Structure 1
Amino acid sequence: MVEPAMTDDVIKYSTDNQEVISGAALPEDQESDILSLRPERLSAYVGQEEVIETLKIAIQAATERDEPIDHVLFHGPPGLGKTTLAHIIANEMQGNLTVTSGPALEKGGDLVGILTHLEAGDILFIDEIHRTPKSVEEFMYPAMEDFAIDFVFDKGVHARSHRYRLKRFTLVGATTRVGLLSAPL
């Protein structure tokens, strides 16, 4: 039987006098565990068994090749864990996660700025990727395929092109409207 006991600064619910709820401050290293409701590893993710199994295989293969995981697109209704899976991929691959959304990328320069700051093995998560403007998508294709971006300087007869090599990254896209994605994505 659980018996609640209250004091000035501590509320206890215990069957064996072990403190369960406390008003005392947590050590910093435990604070993030309590505040995060999002699983951090595939082993802690509940549901979507087929997706999880596919991701396990892809992550294991990428790890054995010592390469980033291939680009990933998650689609489905809201609330199925697309964003959570992007966080898990970053944790499993030990890469930094950069999060943005399609509508936030208003022009090509927005995406270029993000891509040029990614390190090898980092994960770029674009939520609502179906809402990415076409002008931004044009920068996305060579970045995903060749890990490079082409810049054109000047105009007319003075125009010249420069190819900027990107570090190998993984793009994870999420959409609730897969039918609105452009054909190349």
Structure 2
Amino acid sequence: MIRPLGPDDLDAYRALWLDGLRRVPEAFLLTEVEALGLSDATLIAKLAAGQFWGGFSEDVLVALIAMHQGGPERMRHMADIGPLYVHPSAQGLGYAKRLLQAVEQTARDRGLLQLELCVDATNSRAIELYRAAGFVEFGKRPRSVIVNGAARDDLLMIKMLDAT
């Protein structure tokens, strides 16, 4: 089941997010220390704002995605996606694809014109997923993040929702 996450999902969201940070730190912007420093109130506000969706197996959160719509008026036509994380026990079961579909439908319902994301340039599995979902590369950000002293490049990808 795929559904928006809300404040009642705080503990499950935090646990899965921290799991992802520990397993694949290069896939996330924040470090584990930074994530642990976020207050419950901060995360509850983000969950209440409708920025997160989850994939559930039975009643267990096994996948998550975030969509952050542009804040300033001139950027409200677009949203950034990420992070997207699927627990290893649920990989290959279609959660990532369904989460992307849910976020895209929400973006369309809100009248957004495009979705954008950054993905580690070495994450071929994620790049393949995004391409299959209709995203195209439009740039590369060298040294986008530095993880454990090593610079990582990001591919910038976009999906135009108003394209025919």
Q: Please report the TM-score for the alignment, with normalisation by the length of structure 1.
A: 0.23
Q: Max radius of gyration: which structure?
A: 1
